[in-house]
Amino acid sequence: MDMTQAIILTIMTAATPLLLAAIGELVVERSGVLNLGVEGMMVMGAVTAFAVAQLTGSAGLGAIAGLLAGMVFSVLFGFLTLTLVANQVATGLALTILGLGLSGMIGESFIGLPGLKLATIEIPLLSDIPFFGRLLFDQDPIFYTSIVAVVGVNWFLFKSRAGLRLRAIGDSHSSAHALGVKVVRARYLAVMFGGACAGLAGAHLSIVYTPQWVENMTAGRGWIALALVVFASWRPSRALAGAYLFGAVSIGQLHAQALGLGISSQFLSALPYLATIAVLVIISLNRRMTLINTPASLGKSFVPER
């Protein structure tokens, strides 16, 4: 493996959890729900995946458990905001705080234990392609899932009938309701999908990225994923581009430092965020396009009229 490959590989590892969590949240927001609890669901996924991997000796089971943990945690959010119609922003924030605390408690006995790493799956023939073969087709299952999720969500949102309904709910839940669409049920499913993606993203952190459990190991990645959704203007392909751009700039700045180029490290550390802002500004120059993609009912509670 040469250095370029090594760098690309590092970028891919850094981008995968961001991409997964962002793609899940993108579907949630397309349905008109704003779940700020991504960080909490992610960290629950991370601790559950690590714990299950330790107890069963299988990192694969850990990944599945992480996914389920995120999903279960998101149902809690769904129950509060969709059934009890609590404020989405407050509930999402509470979910993050609860997740960080609860995961610390669950994970206490797992601190200081080296973890299991999810094995890579080599896809025959394709992995023999020079240069890109090893990079793209000899990866861990969570990486593959993240790519499949982007393609799948893109197809679902823009090519399927159910996706059209989901977008309609996100744009105007009252109209969708009047047309007989089951708003709450669809939103529950979207929230659970978001939870599953966040949970799996967390699992990636604790069994692929850095196979260990330490409290608060998500270190703000859930928030970056949330920002990526806006950055992507709610389009899956742009979320992919955003996650990889963010990953590339964060890894690139580390290499720039190691080369001893003499650029201020504080500036370099801020670069990924500056790049994000720059792209956001460019995107929002076209106001009309931004509005078309923004779910109009985002964050608004829905109470069916009788």
Partner 1 sequence: MKKTFFLLAAATALAGIAVPASAQGMDKVKACFIYVGPVGDFGWSYQHDQGRQYVVEQLGDKIETAYLESVPEGADAERAIERFARSGCNIIFTTSFGYMDQTNKVAKDFPDVKFEHATGYKREHPNVATYDSRFYEGRYVLGQIAAKMSKVGTAGYIGSFPIPEVIQGINSFMLGAQSIDPDFKVKVIWSNTWFDPGKEADAAKALLDQGADILTQHTDSTAPMQVAAERGALAFGQASNMYNFGKETQLTAIVDEWGPYYLERISAVLDGTWEQSATWGGMADGHVVMADYTNMPDDVKAMAEETEASITSGEFHPFTGPITKQDGSEWLAEGEVADDGALSGMNFYVKGIDDQLQQ
**From 130, 159, 180, 264, residue interacting with partner 1 (rule: CB under 8 A):** 264
Query: Which residue from 160, 269, 284, 286 is in contact with partner 1, where contact means CB under 8 A?
Result: 269
Closest CA to 199 of 37, 82, 55, 57: 37
Residue 111 sits in the site that holds partner 1 (CB under 8 A): yes
Select 104 or 141, whichever has its Cβ closest to partner 1: 104
> In whole angstroms, what is the distance from residue 121 CA to residue 70 CA?
24
Distances (CA, A) of 180 to 55, 167, 304: 46, 15, 11
Which range of residues in 19-27, 71-79, 137-145, 213-221 is near partner 1 by CB under 8 A? 213-221
Q: Could you tell me the smallest distance in angstroms from the CB atom of residue 108 to partner 1?
A: 7
Q: Does 120 bind partner 1 (CB under 8 A)?
A: no
Find how far residue 13's CA is from the centre of its chain: 13
211 binds partner 1 (CB under 8 A): yes
Cβ–Cβ < 8 Å for 149, 23:
yes
Q: Which ranges constitute the DSSP H helices of the chain?
A: 3-30, 38-56, 59-78, 88-107, 132-137, 141-159, 161-171, 173-178, 183-204, 221-231, 236-258, 265-284, 287-293
Residue 174 within binding range of partner 1, rule CB under 8 A:
no
219 CB-near residues (< 8 Å, 6+ apart): none
- Taking the complex as a whole, the smallest distance from the CB of residue 8 to partner 1 amounts, in Å, to 11
| DSSP designation for 121 | E
CA–CA gap between residue 143 and residue 125 (Å, rounded): 18
Instruction: Pick between residue 108 and residue 122 the one whose CB is nearest to partner 1.
Output: 108
- What's the full length of the chain, in residues? 306
C-alpha neighbours within 13 Å on the C-beta side of residue 210: 11
Q: Is 254 in the site for partner 1 (CB under 8 A)?
A: yes
Which of 61, 144, 215, 280 lies at the binding interface for partner 1 (CB under 8 A)? 215
Nearer to partner 1, 214 or 279 (CB): 214
Q: How far is the CB of 89 from partner 1 (least distance, A)?
A: 20
Name which position in 30, 167, 221, 238 contacts partner 1 (CB under 8 A): 221
Q: Convert residues 77-96 into a mask of x (bound to partner 1 by CB under 8 A) and - (unbound).
A: --------------------
Q: Is 127 an interacting residue with respect to partner 1 (CB under 8 A)?
A: no
- Joined together, the tokens standing for residue 52 give 């299950």
**Residue type (1 letter), 7:** I
Chain centroid to Cα 106, Å, comes to 22
Nearer to partner 1 among residue 21 and residue 157 (C-beta): 21
Closer CB to partner 1, residue 80 or residue 217? 217
Q: Is 246 in the site for partner 1 (CB under 8 A)?
A: no
* Interface segment toward partner 1; rule CB under 8 A; list 181-189, 190-198, 212-220, 293-301: 212-220
Rounded to an integer, what distance in angstroms lies between the CA atom of residue 239 and that of residue 283?
13
Q: Which residues bind partner 1 (CB under 8 A)?
A: 3, 6-7, 10, 13-14, 17, 104, 107-108, 111-114, 117, 205, 209-217, 219-221, 250-251, 254-255, 257-260, 262, 264-266, 269
